[in-house]
Amino acid sequence: MGIKTIALSMLILSTCLCFGNEELLGDTDGAWSLLGFNGYAGEVLINPVTGSSYFYWLFEAVNGNILTDKRPIIIWLQGGPGCSGETGILFENIGPFYISNSTQPTINPYAWNSEYHVMSIDFPLGAGFSYHKAHYDMKNTTAQATAQLYNLLVKLSQKYPTWFNRDLYFFGESYAGHWIPGIAYTILMNNKAPGVQTVFNLKGVGMGDPWTEAYTQLQSYGSYSYQRGLIDMEELQIINTLQQQVLDEMANQEWDQANNDLNSVTDLIVTYAGGINVYDIRSYETNYNLGQIPTWLGLNSTKNLLHVPLTLDWDQCSGAVNDGYNFDTLDSMSKYLPLMLDSIKVMVYNGADDLICESVGTLQMLDAVNWPGIGQFINSPRKIWRVNGQIAGYANSFGNLSFVIVLRAGHMVPHDQPQNGRDLVYRFINNEGWQ
């Protein structure tokens, strides 16, 4: 959706907001049921003056009841920035059904809600079915956006008091390496604030192939690519020179140029390697096929099911949102990790075949965190992680920190390894360890 400036009448009814030919009757969310699964979905006003709203989709656990049980809830945040949570739900095997080459949903045997409640939020505004009615509701920093997300969670907890009367986990991938530290820090700080009325029982977070700190993560593109055989020694020297150029530009606060040159690093590796998929170096198919997902989400019957106004169009990844976070891309979120590691469980996992957020850079980012236990983490013995007797990956852990390499997976681990991806999540939440 394009950015629109709305002129409001001074006369606004408490139950009705009117914008031209559109009428929004407050929150639209409600219950849904499909293929034997149940939950809640719809729009929730984040700014009742302008009408800007967030879309969420909640899946109750199989044989669970979020009104009465105490099962944990997982909130999924997609990356981008500006990509829809429905990508994770319907394409990455997180939800209880998926859409492939037809508009008929198919039951997913690897759904995360087989044991836990799961909610996705189209975040930030402008992603998916979330939309803004005024330009100033759009944010362009992680701190601003996650403060808005926190306000949404508070509103949901007040509207549905039992939903957050349980352990809370956040999971996400890619730019969620920004979102999750931001929202976790906000929750942990607000939980300790005097007189706070809403306390969230945040227990842990899982960040998949995260983009968290540009400064450390960008320095290993060359070495990772050389080790994987994607480039030769001469090309490695060129990539290393370009990486240093980005670091110099960041030091000189030349943010636009640094961001452009950062993208050039991966673009050049892709060219050297003959056109590989930057999200999965095993593939030369550079575009993922979403099948009939956009068609299904565009059906009036689907919008009615999910309590979405029929006038809304679904946007998988918003270019306008993405462009707005150009400066934020280079900001470091690792500054929030020490508080998180002192307070909650943190799991970082990486697909072994991802280039855009490759595992060497992720581990370097963790190694640089100013946390007393980081030395023990670095020296912790690697454990072999198996699923059904087959090696799924390798894990290092100490205290509240775990780092897991997922084999035969690229940027989107739950998509590439649905069974192992769910096992990863369940082991983490259930404290089952990695051996």
Q: Please state the pTM of the whole predicted model.
A: 0.91
The token duo for 23 is: 């009428």
SS3 state at 299? coil
Same domain for 181 and 37? yes
Same domain for 110 and 253? no
Same domain for 266 and 134? no
Same domain for 134 and 257? no
Q: Is residue 35 situated within a structural domain?
A: yes
Same domain for 101 and 51? yes
Rounded to the nearest integer, the mean pLDDT of the chain is 91
Residue 98 is part of a domain; what is its CATH number?
A: 3.40.50.1820
pLDDT of residue 1: 28
Q: How confident is the model at residue 267 (pLDDT cuts 50, 70, 90)?
A: very high
pLDDT of residue 23: 47
Cα–Cα distance for residue pair 266/274, rounded to 1 Å: 12
CA contacts within 13 A on the Cβ side of 354: 28
pLDDT higher than 50, residue 37: yes
Q: Is residue 221 situated within a structural domain?
A: no
CA distances to 28, 84, 102, 137, 335 from 294, in Å = 21, 11, 11, 26, 37
Q: Is residue 7 situated within a structural domain?
A: no
The token duo for 128 is: 């998916």
pLDDT of residue 7: 28
Q: What is the DSSP string of 334-379?
A: GGGHHHHHHHSEEEEEEETT-STT-HHHHHHHHHT---TTHHHHHT
Same domain for 249 and 142? no
* Overall average pLDDT of the 227-235 stretch: 97
* 351 or 1, greater pLDDT: 351
Compute, in degrees rounded to 10, the torsion defined by CA atoms 391, 228, 171, 142.
170
Domain that holds residue 256: 231-272
Q: Is residue 95 situated within a structural domain?
A: yes
Same domain for 171 and 301? yes
pLDDT of residue 323: 87
Same domain for 261 and 366? no
Sign of CA dihedral 189, 194, 199, 202: positive
Cα–Cα distance for residue pair 420/397, rounded to 1 Å: 18
pLDDT of residue 5: 27
Q: Is residue 260 situated within a structural domain?
A: yes
The token duo for 321 is: 């949102």
pLDDT of residue 20: 34
Cα–Cα distance for residue pair 15/322, rounded to 1 Å: 33
pLDDT of residue 289: 86
Same domain for 305 and 408? yes
Q: Is residue 225 situated within a structural domain?
A: no
pLDDT of residue 24: 52
CB atoms within 10 A of CB 300: 9
List, for residues 145-191, the tens digit of each pLDDT value: 999 999 999 999 999 999 999 999 999 999 999 999 999 999 999 99
Same domain for 64 and 152? yes
List, for residues 153-166, the tens digit of each pLDDT value: 999 999 999 999 99
Angle 58-357-289 from CA coordinates, rounded to 5°:
60
pLDDT higher than 80, residue 125: yes
Ranges 93-107, 160-174, 418-432: which has the least confidence: 93-107
pLDDT higher than 70, residue 282: yes
pLDDT higher than 90, residue 59: yes
Same domain for 357 and 416? yes
What percent of the chain clears pLDDT 90, i.e. is strictly above it?
A: 83
Cα–Cα distance for residue pair 239/225, rounded to 1 Å: 10
Cα–Cα distance for residue pair 360/61, rounded to 1 Å: 35
Q: Is residue 54 situated within a structural domain?
A: yes
CB atoms within 10 A of CB 319: 11
Same domain for 142 and 187? yes
Q: Is residue 419 situated within a structural domain?
A: yes
Number of folded domains in the chain?
2
**For 164, which DSSP code?**
T
Q: Which is nearest to 202 in space by CA: 219, 213, 189?
A: 189
